[in-house]
C-alpha cells in the first residue's frame, strides 16, 4: 500500500509514517495540499492520503474530484477535538484518526479505507486449475486477458498475478474503462499537458506512467471506444505513450492485464473491438468460471464474507446454519461472487438467530440454478419473496401486479433500476449486469434520475 502524508503535526505525523512503514506501506510526505496535488499529478501515486485537519481538506478533495484523481482521504489531528473531526468528515474525509497515533488504529483504518481484499479462495477443482495457470504465467512479462462473467473476481485475480510476479514491489494501478466517460478516459490513461484542453490547469501524469515498474489493469477493456483502442494498441506495440497536448514520447515499463465480461471474439466479428488489439492483449487467456460452476467454493466464500462484514460492522461473527447453507448451494448466483458478497453482507446485518438463518438470506428471483451452464434444464430456486419466475409458473402474487396498474413505463423502469442498485449496495457494474443493460446506459439513467431529484443509492 502507498500512503501519502500531508502536513506537519509536531512530530506525530512522522510517527504515523513509521507505523505505516512497519506495516509494509510505502510512505511519501508532503508539506501541504499544493505539494500533495503536484506529487499526485506527476505520478507519485497513493492508495490513501492522510491529511492534517489544519490543512484545507475540503479544497484538497474538491481538487482531487475535479482532476479525477481517485484516492481516499483520511483526516488526522492532535487530540480529540470533535469539531475538527466533524468538519473533516463533512468536507469529504473517509475517517478521522486522533494523534498521537495508535498503531492498531492506524492499521485498521488504512485497511478499511483502501478496502484491500486480495484473498484467493480456490477449493473447487475448476478454480484450482485456473489458479495453477495464473501462478505459472505470473512471473513472465506476458500480457494477460482475464475473461468471465461479471462478478467472478477478475480484479482480484489481476492483483493475485501482480503479487506473484517479478513486479510485485512496483505499483498495481487499476483503471475501470467502463466507469470513466469516453472523453476523459484518454487523459486518465495517457495523461495531459497544461492547457491541452479546457480544464487542464496543469500537467497530469496518466495511469500508464504511474504504473511504470509495475502492472496496469485495464478493467472492462471491451468498453473502450475504437479510436482509443488504436492509441492503446500503439502503446502496447511500441512501449511508448504521448500525453495529450505533447509531442514528446514517454517510454513505458509496464505490464498490462486486461479484463472483459464480454465475448471479445464476438465483439471483434461485430466490428466493436479491434482484432489486432485483441491478439495483443490475448497472449495468455485466463477464463474465470462462474460461481455456479465452482460450487465447492460457495460455502468457503460465504464464511469469508460473513467474517469480513461482521468485523467491519462491529457484529459478533456467526456460523451459517445448515438450512441456510442448503439455500446458498441451491441458488444460481447470476451475479457470481459479487452477488454472494452482497448477500452475506445483508445476512449478517439481518440475522436474528445464533446462527445465520435462511430468512436472513435474501435471494433475487432468477432462472439460474446450479448446472445451468452445462446445458441442463433448470428449475428456479425458491425466492424469499414467493414470486415465481416469468419463465416458469404463472404469477401467484396478484397484488404485486395490481400495484403496477396506472403507472407509466418510465416510472416502473426508474423504480426497478433504483431498487436493483440498492439491492446491489450501490455497485453499478453488478446492477447493470442484473438489469441486462450496459454500464453506460445505467449511468445515463441514474444521471437523469438524479437531475429529477431522485435519491440514488451509494456504494455500501
What CATH number is attached to the domain comprising 440? 1.10.10.60
pLDDT at 348 over 70: yes
CATH number at residue 374: 1.10.8.60
Model pLDDT, residue 373: 41
pLDDT in tens, 28-67: 888 889 989 888 877 677 878 988 888 889 999 988 887 7
Residues 152 and 279 both lie in one domain: yes
Task: Order across the sheet with 172-176: list the strands.
Answer: 172-176, 215-219, 255-260, 144-147, 284-287
More confident of the two residues 311 and 206: 206
Q: Which three cell numbers stand for residue 61?
A: 478533495
Q: Which three cell numbers stand for residue 117?
A: 481484499
CATH number at residue 252: 3.40.50.300
Contacts by 226-230, CB closer than 8 A, 24 or more apart: 226/272, 226/273, 226/274, 228/182, 228/185, 228/186, 228/189, 229/273, 229/274, 229/277, 230/274, 230/277
pLDDT at 96 over 60: yes
Residues 202 and 296 both lie in one domain: no
| 119 found inside a domain | no
Residues 279 and 296 both lie in one domain: no
| 120 found inside a domain | no
On whether the CB atoms of residues 296 and 124 are closer than 8 A, the answer is yes
Residues 62 and 142 both lie in one domain: no
Task: For residues 375 and 386, give the distance between their C-alpha atoms in angstroms, rounded to a whole number.
Answer: 26
Model pLDDT, residue 109: 65
State the burial class of residue 270 (Cβ atoms within 10 Å of its Cβ: 0-12, 13-18, 19+).
exposed
Residues 155 and 77 both lie in one domain: no
Q: Within 115-153, where are the H helices? A: 125-137
Residues 26 and 157 both lie in one domain: no
Q: Which three cell numbers stand for residue 94?
A: 473517509
Q: What is the mean pLDDT of the chain?
A: 82
Contacts by 24-28, CB closer than 8 A, 24 or more apart: 25/1, 25/110, 26/1, 26/2, 27/2, 27/3, 28/2, 28/3, 28/4
Task: For residues 403 and 54, give the distance between their C-alpha atoms in angstroms, rounded to a whole number.
Answer: 54
Task: For residues 246 and 338, give the distance between their C-alpha atoms in angstroms, rounded to a whole number.
Answer: 41
| 372 found inside a domain | yes
| 302 found inside a domain | yes
Task: For residues 124 and 326, give the distance between their C-alpha atoms in angstroms, rounded to a whole number.
Answer: 17
Residues 195 and 279 both lie in one domain: yes
Q: What residues does 339 pair with on adjacent strands?
A: none
Of the candidates 47, 49, 43, 56, which has an alpha carbon nearest to the alpha carbon of residue 29?
49
| 91 found inside a domain | yes
Residues 303 and 393 both lie in one domain: yes
CATH number at residue 79: 3.40.50.2300
* Percent of residues in the chain assigned helix, strand, coil, to nearest 5: 45, 15, 40
Q: What angle do CA 349, 355, 360 make, to 5 degrees?
A: 45
Model pLDDT, residue 404: 59
Q: What percent of the chain has pLDDT over 90?
A: 36
pLDDT in tens, 114-170: 554 456 888 899 999 999 999 999 999 999 999 999 889 998 999 999 989 999 888
Strands 240-242 and 215-219, sheet pairing: unpaired
Taking the whole predicted model, whether its pTM rises above 0.85 is answered as no
**Domain span including residue 414:** 409-451
pLDDT in tens, 228-253: 999 999 999 999 999 999 889 999 99
Model pLDDT, residue 274: 94
pLDDT at 180 over 70: yes
Residues 398 and 298 both lie in one domain: yes
| 24 found inside a domain | yes
Where a domain ends, among 289, 313, 338?
289
Q: Please confirm whether the linkage preceding 100 is cis (ω < 30° from 0).
A: yes
| 328 found inside a domain | yes
Residues 278 and 169 both lie in one domain: yes
Model pLDDT, residue 281: 96
The mean per-residue pLDDT over the stretch 398-413 comes to 63
| 457 found inside a domain | no
pLDDT at 391 over 50: no
On whether the CB atoms of residues 49 and 25 are closer than 8 A, the answer is no
Residues 435 and 385 both lie in one domain: no
Model pLDDT, residue 409: 77
Residues 75 and 198 both lie in one domain: no
Number of domains in the chain: 4
Amino acid at each position: 500500500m502507498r500512503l501519502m502524508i500531508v502536513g506537519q503535526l509536531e512530530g506525530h505525523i512522522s510517527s504515523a509514517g513509521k507505523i505505516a512503514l512497519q506495516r509494509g506501506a510505502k510512505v511519501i510526505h508532503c508539506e501541504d495540499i499544493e505539494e500533495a496535488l503536484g506529487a499526485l499529478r506527476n505520478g507519485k501515486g497513493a492508495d490513501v492520503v492522510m491529511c492534517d485537519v489544519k490543512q484545507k481538506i475540503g479544497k484538497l478533495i474538491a481538487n482531487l474530484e475535479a482532476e479525477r484523481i481517485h484516492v481516499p482521504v483520511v483526516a488526522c489531528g492532535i487530540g480529540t477535538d470533535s469539531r475538527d473531526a466533524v468538519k473533516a468528515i463533512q468536507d469529504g474525509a473517509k475517517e478521522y484518526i486522533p494523534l498521537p497515533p495508535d498503531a492498531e488504529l492506524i492499521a485498521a483504518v488504512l485497511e478499511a479505507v483502501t478496502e484491500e481484499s486480495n484473498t484467493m479462495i480456490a477449493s473447487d477443482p475448476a478454480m484450482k486449475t485456473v489458479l495453477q495457470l495464473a501462478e505459472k504465467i505470473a512471473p513472465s512479462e506476458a500480457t494477460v486477458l482475464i475473461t468471465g462473467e461479471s462478478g467472478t473476481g477478475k480484479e482480484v485475480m489481476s492483483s493475485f498475478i501482480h503479487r506473484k510476479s517479478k513486479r510485485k514491489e512496483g505499483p498495481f494501478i487499476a483503471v475501470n474503462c467502463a466507469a470513466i466517460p469516453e472523453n476523459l478516459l484518454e487523459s486518465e490513461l495517457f495523461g495531459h499537458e497544461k492547457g491541452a484542453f479546457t480544464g487542464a490547469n496543469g500537467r497530469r501524469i496518466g495511469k500508464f506512467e504511474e504504473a511504470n515498474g509495475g502492472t496496469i489493469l485495464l478493467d472492462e477493456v471491451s468498453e473502450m471506444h475504437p479510436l482509443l483502442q488504436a492509441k492503446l494498441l500503439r502503446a502496447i506495440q511500441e512501449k511508448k505513450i504521448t500525453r495529450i497536448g505533447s509531442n514528446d514520447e514517454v517510454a513505458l515499463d509496464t505490464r498490462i492485464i486486461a479484463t472483459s465480461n464480454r465475448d471479445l471474439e464476438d465483439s471483434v466479428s461485430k466490428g466493436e473491438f479491434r482484432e489486432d488489439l485483441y491478439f495483443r492483449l490475448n497472449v495468455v487467456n485466463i477464463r474465470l468460471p462462474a460461481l455456479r460452476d465452482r460450487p465447492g467454493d460457495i460455502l468457503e466464500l460465504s464464511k469469508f464474507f460473513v467474517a469480513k462484514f461482521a468485523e467491519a460492522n462491529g457484529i459478533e461473527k456467526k456460523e451459517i446454519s445448515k438450512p441456510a447453507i442448503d439455500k446458498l448451494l441451491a441458488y444460481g448466483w447470476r451475479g457470481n461472487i459479487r452477488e454472494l458478497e452482497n448477500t452475506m453482507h445483508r445476512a449478517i446485518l439481518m440475522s436474528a438467530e445464533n446462527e445465520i438463518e435462511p430468512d436472513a438470506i435474501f435471494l433475487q428471483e432468477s432462472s439460474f440454478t446450479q448446472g445451468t451452464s452445462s446445458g441442463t434444464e433448470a428449475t428456479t430456486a425458491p425466492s424469499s419473496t414467493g414470486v415465481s419466475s416469468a419463465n416458469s409458473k404463472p404469477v401467484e402474487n396478484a397484488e404485486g401486479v395490481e400495484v403496477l396498474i396506472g403507472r407509466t413505463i418510465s416510472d416502473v423502469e426508474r423504480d426497478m433500476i433504483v431498487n436493483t442498485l440498492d439491492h446491489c449496495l450501490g455497485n453499478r457494474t453488478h446492477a447493470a449486469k442484473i438489469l441486462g443493460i450496459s454500464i453506460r446506459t445505467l449511468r445515463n439513467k441514474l444521471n437523469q434520475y438524479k437531475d429529477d431529484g431522485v435519491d440514488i443509492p451509494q456504494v455500501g
